[in-house]
Chains A and B, each alone.
Chain A
Amino acid sequence: MMKAIQTSLCVLAISTGLFAHGGAEHLTGTVKALNADSLTIETTKHETLTIALTAKTVAMKSKAKGDLKDLKAGDRVVVHAEKNKAGQFEAEEVDFGPAPAAAAKAAH
């Protein structure tokens, strides 16, 4: 009985962790370039990454539905992305916040 309970708890714990982001990586950084098909960011460790944007990519601005058109170079983003079969990141969700000036003011 105890073993069954332990196993169930393990499965629950593992599946909760797995699902939380569906295996996606969270890439944090600053927008360097943006076009209809891709977003290029400089990560917080100064690595440049290009992430493909697809029809399924969702934009979220300050936790509400946003529009990728509102993004511009210099904006901070958190991209939830998964690698496709070709090994390229595909964005599932692009989160961004207020404009940099407003964000800087809020941070102080």
Chain B
Amino acid sequence: MRRWLLALILLLALIAASAWWHIRAGMDTRSAPGSLETYVAQTVRAWSVPSKYKTLRNPASCTEEVLGETREHWADHCATCHANNGSGDTLLGRTMYPRPPDMRRPDTQNQSDGELYYVIKNGVRLTGMPAFGAPGDNDTSSWHLVCLIRHLPKMSAEEELEMRRMNPKTPADLEEERQEAEFLNGASTPTPEHHHHP
């Protein structure tokens, strides 16, 4: 009994020390999570996926046509954080906490189709990943996204270029594009230079 009590006190002390350390370290997102935190978070997330999804296979056919349509979907909805190529190397992705994973790597690619679908459909708490669409296992567009995630390690430079044109743009971006095109085509009026996108 005493041993259990001692173990419990030690565990509580460890949790309190960890909480104190995290609070003292600050709550900013500039630093990436450490390896222990990453391991714990990934393990808990993996446990949280219902077992039926671990064996679920993608019912969609990942044809070239589907991949083409889904690149457009990804470029518009996902690339802001995940980047067109799935690397997560974007302005937002670089300082999110936790960072979006490089989805081309084994950590993502080794997950089952169902696990990937579950994350797209239900999101991940305490991260930047929201749930998309209505709950359910028959969302074709989310299964198509699983197709694209499988394709990310093989994505060509041409596909990435095509996706750049599909990324979200504000009216100011479109106007700037127009001015730049005019400049490249020989217009005498110079476009604003050093145009910085915050």
Contact = CB atoms under 8 A, between A and B. Distances in A.
- Residue among A27, A76, A105 with max Cβ neighbours from chain B (10 Å): A76
B167 A20 contact: yes
Interface size class of B (residues with CB under 8 A): 20 to 34
A45 B191 CA distance: 10
Given A19-B167, A19-B168, A78-B180, A103 B186 contact: yes
Contact of A18 (B187, B188, B193, B197): B197
B193 A29 contact: yes
Contacts, number: 107
Given A20-B168, A98-B185, A28 B193 contact: yes
Interface string A15-39: 1111111111111110000000000
A19 B185 contact: no
B81 to A, nearest CB: 8
A43 interface: yes
Interface of A: 13, 15-29, 43-45, 47, 58, 60, 62-63, 65, 76-78, 93, 95-98, 100, 103-107
